[in-house]
Structure 1
Amino acid sequence: MIDRVNRAGSLPFAVQLKALLDQEARYQPKLIGLRIIESAQDNGLRMTVKLRDFQVRDLLSLTRFFSFRAETFSLAVNLLDRFLAVMKIQPKHLCCVGLCCFYIAVKTLEEEKNVPLASDLIRISQNRFTVHDMMRMEKIILEKLNWKVKAPTALHFLGFFHSRIQELVEMESKKILNIERLEAQLKACHCSFTFTKIKPSLLALSLLALEIEDHHEVDEGPALKEALDALQESLAVKTGDLVCVKELVAKCLVEYSSTKCQKPNGQRLRWMISGRTARQLKHSYYRIAHLPTIPEYSC
């Protein structure tokens, strides 16, 4: 049976937070496995940080291609990182693993009518494995993850924390934090291996802290900072840890905005679809739109 995150929106904030934090640790990638990936040499024989990041960018492109929710992408990345941390896979199998993690996330979170056929996913990504290969790999992934699929992701915490801060501040302050911009920033962080070893709750808090810090000169800045401090206290996060992760996020976003960087939200889809393939797909599958940039600050 597939495990699911309990959603209890009517419960007090402290109760919901405790439940999420209790589950968070059970859905983290194994640190020892991540360190093995981090230390691997780029010789084509071992899974590496670079290969992982390339695969995540492909999943981001697929997410946009099908107009799936950000939560689907975030869950797919969680599944991929957890699997890579427990299995020593060969680079040649990475595309199949990544696509299967994506497909599991899609079937878990998207409406059934929007779930594409496995054969369509294979055609679009121009991979040479079969539907049978995907079915076997999907079974392996689910078994290795003990069928625990619906993880509390950084996106889940980001939305939860954003709502909490909105509850604690006045109306004018509510306009400062743009959730779409924060979600786009999180997508950029997902594309960097650096954040695989950081708790989702801490990553979400750091994104909010960095955004509030950028607005410290506005009139609503102190109120937002006070709400953030209350949230940090509830999480029992040390200031040093928050500062450290916030600096990593800032560095990631600077690289993201650089013209030298292959931007996760500005990257062209690498999949070329033939006329024959296009005719076999639903119309909505090949209405490709460019990935959006991170929204600017709201006025």
Structure 2
Amino acid sequence: MDLLCSENERECRAYADQVILKDDRVLEGLLRTEERYTPSTSYFRTVQKEITSEMRDIVADWMLEVCVEQTQQEEVFLLATNYLDRFLSVCSVPKTCLQLLGTACLLLASKLRQSQNTLLSADMLVQYTDNSITHDQLLDFEWLVLTKLKWELSAVTAHDFLPHLLERLPLVACDLHAVRRHAHTYIALCARDYKFCRYLPSMIAASSIAAALNGLGWTTKSGFSLSQLLDSLQAITSTERDYLQVCLDQIEGMLSAVAPVSDAAGACGVTTSGSNPATSNRPSADHATASSSSPSADKMHEAGKAGTPTDVWDIHF
């Protein structure tokens, strides 16, 4: 009898280890380590000379689209944007190289977190840039990113905190799967927006969980108020309550101001639920660039279309 195996057609992931989730030492280690991988929040004023936060956000949009179309795990996009911001914090980049940088970050993040049969290959990413970069340029820039990040790629992201926070919250009669899906969506949307770089990953994860529970109506049905929920998250993460409240307000403001995210985002862990559809806060590349007539905006319009020329030697060391 022939046995057929189709494991190579789908991604198999391990179950969460309850021993690790319940061990406070693991969470404490994440909280101690997260600042080490947090980018500078002022690099557009102190390091970058040509690019702006709007340009960075448009490239982040493109990176998310690539992850969605190639069904990458949700960690890939978060890691890639972390590499992007950390590199921009230490190295000046001309606007013609910004998409090349984002492509190199995607390549590295996929190698670190994606399974072998669904990796983002260099040739595939070159095609996503409409062949505006070459294979050799991408590999050279990958090496440059590794050097500038000092090979420290296992960054702590907001996604790493989700299971630990959910394990410690008194969530009774709650659809944890829906909460995770919404929280993943909100975290991904935060990674697209530069203004959330000022928050630590634990703060974004905690605020995303609060936004998910509040949006799903759990705080009303359980009798556990939003204020009590924030107090619990404060106790778990040792984060100032005011910071959590401000981050939560910005997430909810972002969600209420824009249209729902496409259902296709579910392929990257950016999923929605009918009771509280997630939303995207970033306008399209056409809209973002049409609002400005500056040469920089015109260049980033080309980057949004994956047609930006690149030159690795233009990097200022």
Q: Same fold (TM over 0.5)?
A: yes
Tell me if 1:229 matches 2:207: no
Select the residue among 120, 123, 127 that pairs with 1:123: 127
Q: Matches of 1:176 and 1:267 in 2, distance apart?
A: 17
Q: Counterpart of 1:249?
A: 251
Q: Matches of 1:34 and 1:10 in 2, distance apart?
A: 42
Q: Percent of aligned positions with the same letter in both sequences?
A: 23
Q: Counterpart of 1:213?
A: 214
Tell me if 1:151 matches 2:155: yes
Q: What code does the residue aligned with 2:193 have?
A: S
1:135-186 alpha-carbon deviations (Å, 9 max, x no partner): 1111111111111101110122233322332xx333x134585211221122
Q: What code does the residue aligned with 1:256 have?
A: V
Select the residue among 96, 110, 126 that pairs with 1:92: 96
Q: What code does the residue aligned with 1:196 have?
A: C
Q: Matches of 2:174 and 2:113 in 1, distance apart?
A: 32
Superposed displacement of residue 236, structure 1: 1.7
Mapping for residues 42-61 of structure 1, pairs under 5 Å = 46-61=50-65
Tell me if 1:66 matches 2:70: yes
Q: What code does the residue aligned with 1:207 have?
A: S
Select the residue among 273, 279, 303 that pairs with 1:295: 273
Superposed displacement of residue 23, structure 1: 1.1
Q: What code does the residue aligned with 1:294 have?
A: T
Q: What code does the residue aligned with 1:128 have?
A: S
Asked whether the equivalents of residues 266 and 290 of structure 1 are also in contact (C-alpha less than 8 Å), the reply is no
Asked whether the equivalents of residues 266 and 292 of structure 1 are also in contact (C-alpha less than 8 Å), the reply is no
User: Please, which runs of 5 or more residues in structure 2 have no aligned partner?
Assistant: 1-15, 277-317
Q: 1:290 to 1:210 in 2, by over 3 A?
A: closer
Asked whether the equivalents of residues 169 and 223 of structure 1 are also in contact (C-alpha less than 8 Å), the reply is no
Q: Matches of 1:8 and 1:216 in 2, distance apart?
A: 26
Q: Matches of 2:232 and 2:270 in 1, distance apart?
A: 32
Superposed displacement of residue 230, structure 1: 2.7
Q: Counterpart of 2:113?
A: 109
1:232-291 alpha-carbon deviations (Å, 9 max, x no partner): 21222222111111111112112333xxxxx7x43999xxxxxxxxxxxxxxxxxxx899
SS at match of 1:219: helix
Superposed displacement of residue 226, structure 1: 4.8
Q: Matches of 1:216 and 1:62 in 2, distance apart?
A: 33
Asked whether the equivalents of residues 110 and 119 of structure 2 are also in contact (C-alpha less than 8 Å), the reply is yes
Tell me if 1:83 matches 2:79: no
Q: Matches of 1:201 and 1:62 in 2, distance apart?
A: 26
User: Please, which runs of 5 or more residues in structure 1 have no aligned partner?
Assistant: 1-6, 258-262, 270-288
Q: Matches of 1:225 and 1:240 in 2, distance apart?
A: 11
Bigger relative CO (Cα 8 Å, ≥ 6 apart)? 2
1:52-73 alpha-carbon deviations (Å, 9 max, x no partner): 0000000100001111111111
Q: Matches of 1:135 and 1:129 in 2, distance apart?
A: 11
1:28-53 alpha-carbon deviations (Å, 9 max, x no partner): 0023425447xx7xxxx611111100
Q: Counterpart of 1:192?
A: 193
TM-score by length of 2: 0.72
Q: Matches of 1:143 and 1:75 in 2, distance apart?
A: 16
Q: What code does the residue aligned with 2:255 have?
A: L
Q: Counterpart of 1:282?
A: none
Asked whether the equivalents of residues 177 and 212 of structure 1 are also in contact (C-alpha less than 8 Å), the reply is no
CA-based RMSD of the aligned residues comes to: 3.0
SS at match of 1:218: helix
Asked whether the equivalents of residues 182 and 273 of structure 2 are also in contact (C-alpha less than 8 Å), the reply is yes
Q: What code does the residue aligned with 1:204 have?
A: A
Q: Counterpart of 2:284?
A: none
Q: Matches of 2:264 and 2:59 in 1, distance apart?
A: 14
Q: 1:8 to 1:56 in 2, by over 3 A?
A: same
Q: Matches of 1:217 and 1:96 in 2, distance apart?
A: 44
Q: Matches of 1:221 and 1:53 in 2, distance apart?
A: 38
Aligned length: 258
